[in-house]
Amino acid sequence: MFTLLRDLRRLRRQLDLPHRTGSLAIRHCDVGSCNGCEHELTLASGPHYDLSRFGLGMVASPRHADVLLVTGAITSRMSTALRRAYEAMPEPRRVAALGDCALGIGLLGSPDDILGPVELVLPVDLQIPGCPPTPDAIATALFGLLASRPAGQGVTVGRPLGSADEQPTGERRID
């Protein structure tokens, strides 16, 4: 057994395969989407992209999560549940907004029922634009978050937040 592991390690170095640097536990929260992003997220978790092979796994409880992946525009009925899920997460907490609805772009529905983008309720560390974003864009963004800066630093994939100095903060909340 030891010989086999040593041979595998040598083969990995010879092939120059990427080394796994860590893992992220992801909790997905749908707060009012059309399910387009969920279908693409399922494809990203499937055998072609296989996020779990690279240390990115979905978890059932926010208490076990490193990242809260939010899809959809926040509705008035889901805002409290989203805040509770965020507060149940251990520090450091990271939030990823998946899809244009979560970013507040092209929202459909009654203005009375929709609060708006995720960043109005929670601090967003990662933005993944698209309607819906491709599985490749989702995987690339999450891999970037795995290798990125500490929480609160902000990571944008595909769309700038504004000026280079502008970063999301936790001070913009709707109560």
- Residues of the chain with pLDDT > 90, as a percent, come to 24
Supply the pLDDT for residue 55: 84
Environment class of 154 (CB within 10 Å of its CB; exposed 0-12, middle 13-18, buried 19+): middle
- Asked whether residue 24 is assigned to any structural domain, the reply reads yes
pLDDT at 4 over 90: no
Give the per-residue pLDDT at 166.
40
pLDDT of 160 > 70? The answer is no
**What are φ and ψ of residue 58, in 5° steps?**
-85, 140
Q: What is the identity of the amino acid at 153?
A: Q
CATH number at residue 53: 3.40.50.12280
Task: Look at residue 46 and tell me if it is in a domain.
Answer: yes
pLDDT of residue 18: 58
CA angle 143, 121, 77 (to 5 degrees): 110
> Is 81 part of a structural domain of the chain?
yes
34 lies in some domain = yes
Query: Is 166 among the domain residues?
Result: no
- Residue 81, both tokens: 């549940």
Whether 170 has a pLDDT exceeding 60, the answer reads no
pLDDT in tens, 102-141: 888 877 766 778 888 888 899 999 999 998 899 989 988 9
CA–CA separation, 41 vs 125, rounded Å?
Answer: 18
Q: Is residue 172 scored above 50 in pLDDT?
A: no
Minimal CA–CA distance to 97: which of 64, 132, 65? 132
Q: How many domains does the chain have?
A: 1
Q: Give the pLDDT band (50/70/90) at residue 2.
A: low
Q: What is the pLDDT of residue 109?
A: 66
Residue 99 structural domain: 19-156
Average pLDDT over residues 31-54: 86
In a domain, 167, yes or no: no
Q: Has residue 4 been placed in a domain?
A: no
Q: Is 44 a member of any domain?
A: yes
User: Is the pLDDT at 50 greater than 60, yes or no?
Assistant: yes
What is the mean pLDDT of the segment spanning 79-104? 90
Tell me the average pLDDT across 23-36: 88
Average pLDDT over residues 149-158: 46
Q: What is the mean pLDDT of the chain?
A: 78
* pTM for the structure as a whole: 0.72
Q: What pLDDT does 174 receive?
A: 40
